[in-house]
Amino acid sequence: MSRAQTIPPFHVMDLLARAKQLESEGRSIIHLEVGEPDFATARPIVDAGIQALRQLKTHYTAATGLHELRQVIADHYQHKFDLKVDPRRVVVTSGASAALQLALSVLTDAGDSILLADPGYPCNRNIAKVLAVESIDVPVTAESLYQLNAAHIAKYWQANTRAAMVASPSNPTGTIVERDAMKALIEAVAVAGGHLIVDEIYQGLVYDLEEYTALSLSDDVFVVNSFSKYFGMTGWRLGWMVVPESYIDSVDRVAQNIFLAPPTISQYAALAAFELDTEEILQRRVTMFKERRDYLLPVLSEMGFKVTVSPQGAFYVYVDCSAITDDSFQWAKDLLEKEGVAVTPGIDFGTFEANTHVRFAYTRSVDELKRAMCRIARFIK
Ligand SMILES: Cc1ncc(COP(=O)(O)O)c(C=O)c1O
């Protein structure tokens, strides 16, 4: 079997297809499976994109992105974290997806391995597979906030392991790697002789806590970010990565060959993403996401789902549903058929305790969440 044939499907896509079919038959479906903000891109960003189109900015940029955008991103770290980042280390990419692909491409060779959290963002496992790199899935629990820690590195690192990947806040759990734990993780990976890739795609969507970036702890981490989530630009396909100085050249060469350049119009639009009027719009949305989370957590607990760790970021709650079902995939399918609520089964994020977990995305209004919870309560009864 070819490597490509071994790439598993995203099960929630089957659920989504079924949900769409039911909707086309007139059924009311509430989507709690979708991992993208319900808000459209903020107006100032859209306007900047329209203006770029009018000005016919339709050619390739450099493979590492527009110089102005790399500078604006570096300035963002200065403003938000009081951190000086050399814009040469900022590589603009086609979403975090391309950044993750580039990071793994420059850090691994066929036959190497990487460490990942299970449950975790499933695409990393499959990007590795395409590169003929083995992913070592490390089972993580509430004890480590569902994150890799230094002890995991010591226990699971193999002779052929080149990198460990974490996402903070994480998909599917919304948990973060706390600053001290991140320091220890960076150190453990350095001692093992590898690299740490930190996916900060949900940066900005953090509730109750002061944010930091892994870049403030080390110049040797690969830090991935994106305009998709906090900036609400999923469809523009734009992200970035800050790479260690010694990798600027190799990342540039791989990007030139695989992607040529990130989308030009999107890059001009993103220049408006850090402006004050945009920031005000985005901050109001963060407040709304927090309200949704705060509504959802107690209601889910009352219904019998176990919220083992309160999620501090992103827009997901990953719950233990073992009191309700031991087959969360079938449960999700039945819930969709009977009550028209779509959720993501644990199986999409790994294998560890996957059958007794589901993810709820609070990418819908509180009113819609209330309706969904009524339906789920009825379904459980
Ligand atoms: C943890 C994580 N990383 C990366 C991505 C990819 O995002 P994008 O390519 O849209 O930036 C996602 C998307 O859901 C994600 O959850």
Beta-carbon contacts of 199 under 8 Å, excluding residues fewer than 6 positions away, are: 96, 100, 121, 165, 166, 167, 168, 224
357 lies in the same domain as 309:
yes
Q: Is 122 in the pocket of ligand 1 (CB under 6 A)?
A: no
Nearby residues of 33 by Cβ (< 8 Å), 6 or more positions away: 12, 15, 16, 19, 342, 343, 344, 359, 361
The phi and psi torsions of 306 (rounded to 5 degrees) equal: -95, 115
Q: How far is the CA of 58 from the centre of ligand 1 (A)?
A: 26
Supply the CATH number for residue 188's domain. Answer: 3.40.640.10
Distance between CA atoms of residues 10 and 284, nearest Å: 32
CB 105 within 8 A of CB 258: yes
What is the model's pLDDT at position 217?
98
Cβ count within 10 A of residue 199: 28
CB-ligand 1 contact for 363 (6 Å cutoff): no
- What secondary structure does DSSP assign to 135-168, as a single string? EEEEE--GGGTTS--HHHHHHH--TTEEEEEEES
The answer to whether the CB of 228 is under 6 A from ligand 1 is yes
Q: Are 222 and 233 in contact (CB under 8 A)?
A: no
Structural domain boundaries, residue 71: 43-275
Do residues 159 and 285 share a domain?
no
CA–CA gap between residue 302 and residue 264 (Å, rounded): 48
Kindly state if the Cβ of 316 falls inside 6 Å of ligand 1.
no
Identify whether residues 156 and 197 lie together within a single domain: yes
Smallest CA separation from ligand 1 atom 16, residue: 171
Q: Look-up: residue for tokens 């009081």? A: 82
Q: Which of 212, 244, 275 is the last residue of a domain?
A: 275
Look at residues 243, 275, 307 and tell me which one is the last residue of a structural domain: 275
Number of domains in the chain: 2
CA-CA distance, 340 to 28, in Å (whole number)?
Answer: 6
Q: Is 232 in the pocket of ligand 1 (CB under 6 A)?
A: no
Q: What is the pLDDT of residue 271?
A: 98
> Ligand 1 centre and the CA of 256: distance in Å?
22
266/286 same-domain check = no
Domain edge (last residue) among 255, 275, 295: 275
CATH code of the domain in which 357 resides: 3.90.1150.10
The pLDDT value given to residue 13: 81
The rounded distance, in Å, linking the Cα atoms of 22 and 336 is 9
Query: 121 CB under 6 A from ligand 1?
Result: yes
C-alpha of residue 201 to centroid of ligand 1, in Å: 6
SS3 58: coil
Same-domain pairing of 354 and 315: yes
Q: Which pLDDT score, from 0 to 100, does residue 11 have?
A: 82
95 Cβ below 6 A of ligand 1:
yes
Report whether residue 234 contacts ligand 1, using a CB cutoff of 6 Å: yes
Q: State the pLDDT at residue 98.
A: 98
| Amino acid 24: pLDDT | 95
Tell me the pLDDT of the chain (381 aa) as tens digits.
788 888 887 788 888 889 999 999 999 999 999 888 899 999 999 999 999 999 999 999 999 999 999 999 999 999 999 999 999 999 999 999 999 999 999 999 999 999 999 999 999 999 999 999 999 999 999 999 999 999 999 999 999 999 999 999 999 999 999 999 999 999 999 999 999 999 999 999 999 899 999 999 999 999 999 999 999 999 999 999 999 999 999 999 999 999 999 999 999 999 999 999 999 999 999 999 999 999 999 999 999 999 999 999 999 999 999 999 999 999 999 999 999 999 999 999 999 999 999 999 999 999 999 999 999 999 998
* CA 347 from centroid of its chain's CA atoms: 17
Ranges of beta strands (E only) in 239-332 are: 239-242, 316-320
CA of 47 to the centre of ligand 1 (A): 24
Same domain, 96 and 143: yes
| Shared domain check, 75 and 220 | yes
